Amino acid sequence: MNDMSDGYMTADGRQIGGVLMELKNITLKFGGVTAIENISFDIREGEIRAIIGPNGAGKSSMLNVISGFYVPTEGEVWFKGYKRGPMKPYEIARLGIARTFQNIALFDGMSVLDNIMTGRLTKMKKGLLAQAGWWWTGAAKEEHENREKVERIIDFLEIQNIRKTPVGRLPYGLKKRVELARALAAEPKILLLDEPMAGMNVEEKEDMCRFILDLNDEFGTTIVLIEHDMGVVMDISDRVVVMDYGKKIGDGAPTEVRNNQAVIDAYLGVAHD
Amino acid sequence: MPDQLVYAMEVTLNGLMAGVLYSLVALGFVLIFKASGIFNYAQGVLALFAALTLVGIQNGQVPFAHMINAMTGGHLTNFGWQVPSVIAILLTGVVMVLLAIVIEKLVLKHLVNQAPIILFMATIGMAYFLEGFGDVMWGADIKTLDVGLPQGINETIESLTDRWFGYGFFIDNLDIVATLLAILLVTALTLFSQYSKQGRALRAVADDHQAALSVGISLRFIWVLVWSIAGFVALVAGIIWGTKSGVQFSLSLIALKALPVLMLGGFTSIPGAIVGGLIIGVGEKLFEFSIGPMIGGATENWFAYVLALVFLVFRPQGLFGEKIIERV
């Protein structure tokens, strides 16, 4: 692979920037079980980075390490050139790392709009007392500005018509979209998508693919996604990490990974020694 | 025309006012339940503690006087000053916030991700601890609380109704003040939870902890916030009930009156707590007035619970509660 210290050019001609996040020798153990074993890779500014692998490979664990829900047993996470200390998940969210969940975690009792507005919480600076002032302290203006940003995202993801619907009533595919909208509302530096297309039909999958590509294109958002569907991953991602049994068995552009013997074995189910 | 109908009107009015007081206590439960899924058994004791602290601060009592005296052999009881009610109320508010922080640090923080029943047990423990702590801090004697709220019969209403119906209604000024306070409090809380970012965060935490963390909400901050608000509501309830019937242990039993209100209105609904309180207030007064004499009276003691039981059978989620439907 050629030198990529200042980024690289993708096959479709997009310029990818420098390293945004680097994971160094990450190991994650739960008691005696090793979920992730000594994995290193980097995430570059503006790229769509996929993590794939068979069931139980440790993909979701990896995502949880990045978003701070798990603290790695060993290894370091470097973000924007700094080593990340031990932090709570909400602190990491405030750094600009937003995520979606495999089993959708939305606020069911709240409307679509309110759900997406929670994504803006980190951007709203007015304190408790200033909120009580409303017009007087400018809290109303802040709310409006944030509301505008959220409306843009709602337009972008084409969910205008369900704006006021309580999320609990929505079908699965739309919930996934609302969850994406909420993560996007935080204007994240890195957007983590945990199986964004799991359980969707072909049409919904196509929509989701289009949204992921468009938002990467339009907002320049760096995206890390986990996905089962190999076809989808190969189509939309710039670089792919392949995991199997907690180890990294491949890393590179989709075409490289596709021809990697270890990857083929993992997916076709060659017996492990 | 002093007939049954006019009496019934007076009874209804008084029932509404009593209902407001029930609602006030129920509100504290709903807030904590909504935000953290905890049924806070300690809510009544919280009101007692708030009232005790308020009286103590107002009269310049030395906190822990008995304990200090026992250890040092002194005779300290009083600083010898009177604190104006407004300042005393504000200071008590500060104490309630501090209490919320302590509860979060010592109890809730260690019980994250535990089953609701565990948290419920923890609040029972807190209730008994706080009850004893309040006594140690401020003494166990019965105190009178007077923060300058008007009391006694409202003469305007009496003379007006006398002119209209030929019979003057007896409406207590304190009940009117309580109603106004409750309206104010509920409006403020509703605006807060619907339109402020902290309110939104609070609702988010109530729905899903993981998702809340992922959008950058600190659960611990929200818990302190919720318990502070519950403490604040307890303070208001404590002031009114304390003024009405003195500050003593039985004040904490108002929590028992809130239970049927919650069953009626639903555990998760602020409007439910209000409407539930009003229905029970009016219901028990009217029942006592109309049916009571036929069956020997004293129906107020049990009417609310029977009504709650009926509701449990026909509408277990309450009038406004969320019906929990699990999609399979």
- CA distance linking residue B304 with residue A105, whole number of Å: 39
Portion 204-243 of A in contact with B at CB < 8 A? none
Q: Does the residue A101 lie in any domain?
A: yes
Residues in B closer than 8 angstroms to A71, CB to CB, are none
Task: Report the pLDDT value the prediction gives residue B60, as an integer from 0 to 100.
Answer: 87
- CA distance linking residue A35 with residue A101, whole number of Å: 18
Structure tokens at A182: 């909420």
User: With an 8 Å Cβ cutoff, is B218 touching chain A?
Assistant: yes
Which residue range is the domain that position A115 belongs to?
97-187
By mean pLDDT, which of A122-136, B59-73, B198-212, B230-244 is the weakest? Answer: A122-136
Locus of tokens 């978003």: A67
Contact yes or no for B197 and A121 at CB 8 A: yes
**Closest residue to B197, CB basis, from A101, A124, A182:** A124
- CA distance linking residue B99 with residue B229, whole number of Å: 11
Predicted TM-score (pTM) of the model is 0.82
- CA distance linking residue B195 with residue B191, whole number of Å: 6
User: With an 8 Å Cβ cutoff, is A112 touching chain B?
Assistant: no
User: With an 8 Å Cβ cutoff, is B113 touching chain A?
Assistant: no
Long-range Cβ contacts of A201-210 (<8 Å, 24+ apart): A201/A173, A204/A173, A204/A176, A205/A229, A205/A232, A207/A173, A207/A177, A208/A176, A208/A177, A208/A180, A209/A235, A209/A236
* H/E segment holding residue A36: strand A33-44
Structure tokens at B318: 């309450």
Contact yes or no for B210 and A143 at CB 8 A: no
pLDDT of residue B1 exceeding 80: no
Task: Report the pLDDT value the prediction gives residue A2, as an integer from 0 to 100.
Answer: 43
- Tens of pLDDT, residues B25-34: 888 888 888 7
A93: which DSSP letter? H
**Rounded CA Rg of chain B:** 21
User: With an 8 Å Cβ cutoff, is A129 touching chain B?
Assistant: no
In total, how many domains does chain A have? 1
- CA distance linking residue A107 with residue A192, whole number of Å: 19
Q: Does the residue B321 lie in any domain?
A: no
**Closest residue to A101, CB basis, from B195, B204, B210:** B210
User: With an 8 Å Cβ cutoff, is B207 touching chain A?
Assistant: yes
**CATH number of the CATH domain containing B280:** 1.10.3470
Task: Report the pLDDT value the prediction gives residue A1, as an integer from 0 to 100.
Answer: 42
**CATH number of the CATH domain containing A161:** 3.40.50.300
- As beta bridge partners, residue A244 has A247
A14: which DSSP letter? P
Average pLDDT over residues B213-218: 90
Task: Report the pLDDT value the prediction gives residue A5, as an integer from 0 to 100.
Answer: 62
- As beta bridge partners, residue A39 has A26
Residues in B closer than 8 angstroms to A184, CB to CB, are none
Run means of pLDDT, 10 residues per run, chain A, 273 residues = 64 82 93 91 93 88 92 92 87 92 88 92 77 75 88 91 90 92 93 90 90 90 88 88 91 88 79 59
Task: Report the pLDDT value the prediction gives residue B2, as an integer from 0 to 100.
Answer: 57
- CA distance linking residue A183 with residue B6, whole number of Å: 60
Q: Does the residue A5 lie in any domain?
A: no
Contact yes or no for B216 and A108 at CB 8 A: no
- CA distance linking residue A128 with residue B252, whole number of Å: 30
Q: Does the residue A194 lie in any domain?
A: no
- Backbone φ and ψ of A69, nearest 5°: -75, -30
Q: Does the residue A132 lie in any domain?
A: yes
Residues in B closer than 8 angstroms to A98, CB to CB, are 214-215
Which of A114, A118, A125 to probe the B interface (max B CBs under 10 A)? A118
Which of B195, B197, B220, B269 to probe the A interface (max A CBs under 10 A)? B197
Look at the alpha carbons of A202, A230, A180, A209 in this order and tell me if their dihedral is positive or negative: negative
Q: Does the residue A164 lie in any domain?
A: yes
In total, how many domains does chain B have? 1
By mean pLDDT, which of A6-10, B95-99, B243-247 is the weakest? Answer: A6-10
- Of all residues in chain A, what percent are helix, strand and coil, respectively (each to 5)? 40, 25, 35
The mean pLDDT of chain B is 87
User: With an 8 Å Cβ cutoff, is B317 touching chain A?
Assistant: no
Which residue range is the domain that position B110 belongs to?
4-314
Our CA-based measurement puts residue A152 at a distance from the nearest CA of chain B, in whole angstroms, of: 19
Residues in B closer than 8 angstroms to A91, CB to CB, are 216
Q: Does the residue A3 lie in any domain?
A: no
Residues in A closer than 8 angstroms to B218, CB to CB, are 88, 90
pLDDT of residue B324 exceeding 70: no
Q: Does the residue B322 lie in any domain?
A: no
Q: What percent of chain B is predicted at pLDDT more than 70? A: 97
pLDDT of residue B146 exceeding 90: no
- CA distance linking residue B251 with residue B53, whole number of Å: 13
Output b/e per residue, A131-141; b: 16+ Cβ within 10 A. Answer: beebeeeebee
Contact yes or no for A183 and B200 at CB 8 A: no
Q: Does the residue A257 lie in any domain?
A: no
Q: Does the residue B37 lie in any domain?
A: yes
Contact yes or no for B216 and A90 at CB 8 A: yes
Our CA-based measurement puts residue B304 at a distance from the nearest CA of chain A, in whole angstroms, of: 29
pLDDT of residue B327 exceeding 60: no
User: What HEC string does chain B produce?
Assistant: CCCHHHHHHHHHHHHHHHHHHHHHHHHHHHHHHHHHCCCCCCHHHHHHHHHHHHHHHHCCECCCHHHHHHHHCCCCCECCCCCCHHHHHHHHHHHHHHHHHHHHHHCHHHHCCCCHHHHHHHHHHHHHHHHHHHHHHHCCCCECCCCCCCCCECHHHHHHHHHHHCCCCCCEHHHHHHHHHHHHHHHHHHHHHHHCHHHHHHHHHHHCHHHHHHCCCCHHHHHHHHHHHHHHHHHHHHHHHHHHHCECHHHHHHHHHHHHHHHHHCCCCHHHHHHHHHHHHHHHHHHHHHCHHHCCCCCHHHHHHHHHHHHHHHCCCCCCCCCCCCCC
